Amino acid sequence: MPKIVIMPSILAADMGRLAEECQRAEAAGADALHLDIMDGHFVPNLSMGPDVVKMARAAVKIPLDTHLMVTHPQNMTAAFIKAGANPLLIHVEAQCDVRAVLHDIRKHKLRAGLTLNPETPVEALFPYLADVDEVLFMSVHPGYGGQAFIPQVLPKVAELRRRAPELDISIDGGINRATTIQAAEHGANLFVAGTYLFGAADMQAEIAHMRAAIQNAYGKKV
């Protein structure tokens, strides 16, 4: 199976002590941090910008999986690359030349990722599979943490897994103990979790629990 990657989403961290929260996640065994970037247009909310990525880059050594929920990613990639984002993910629904932006990200020696909203059919990804290092399925409507997992996304994950056995497939939104297992069964190997991990009494124990559960469940419903 492809490598398991567990990524706490700092959207759910204590914003008053963000550097310490990044370090707490790294010390708890996180493989990467997930950073949600919102522009108030592609999604109704605003969150963080390149300076937060820069802060996280200085605070931890693990990769910063940076999720651009923005309408015009082509105008913003340079600032996030400079700040230390990597991987850098854009949405297939963004208003841009998706392939050109993915190529630009890769040209800068970053991992490029493509993200899909819950309503978007999985076929929208197929033209870009050669251009991406990871695909991220949104399992909530993007814009806010703490929402309930949308199970209708699971067949899309399984379909992509059948097509691409080695691809890094990520799931983002509403991940908890139970939905981790469902997503792993359908072939996800990268897991973003905000509320669940930052809200856990013992993040280290919870990440270890997730890792074991994913190992056990992976691919059973592919």
Catalytic annotation, residues: 36, 172
Q: Which stretch binds ligand DX5 (CB under 6 A): 54-62, 75-83, 100-108, 170-178?
A: 170-178
Cβ proximity to ligand DX5: between 100 and 178 the closer is 178
Cβ proximity to ligand DX5: between 67 and 186 the closer is 67
Q: Pick what 146 binds: Zn ion, ligand DX5, none; C-beta below 5 to 8 Å, kind-dependent.
A: ligand DX5
Radius of gyration of the chain (CA): 16
Q: Pick what 116 binds: ligand DX5, Zn ion, none; C-beta below 5 to 8 Å, kind-dependent.
A: none
- 10 Å Cβ neighbour count for 15? 12
Backbone angle region of 29, left / alpha / beta, with phi > 0 → left and psi within -120 to 50 → alpha: left
User: Please, which of residues 87-146 interact with Zn ion by CB under 5 A?
Assistant: none
- One-character DSSP codes across 14-31: -GGGHHHHHHHHHHTT-S
Which residue type sits at 187?
A: G
The 28-67 site mask, x for binding ligand DX5 (CB under 6 A), equals ------x-x------------------------------x
- 10 Å Cβ neighbour count for 82? 12
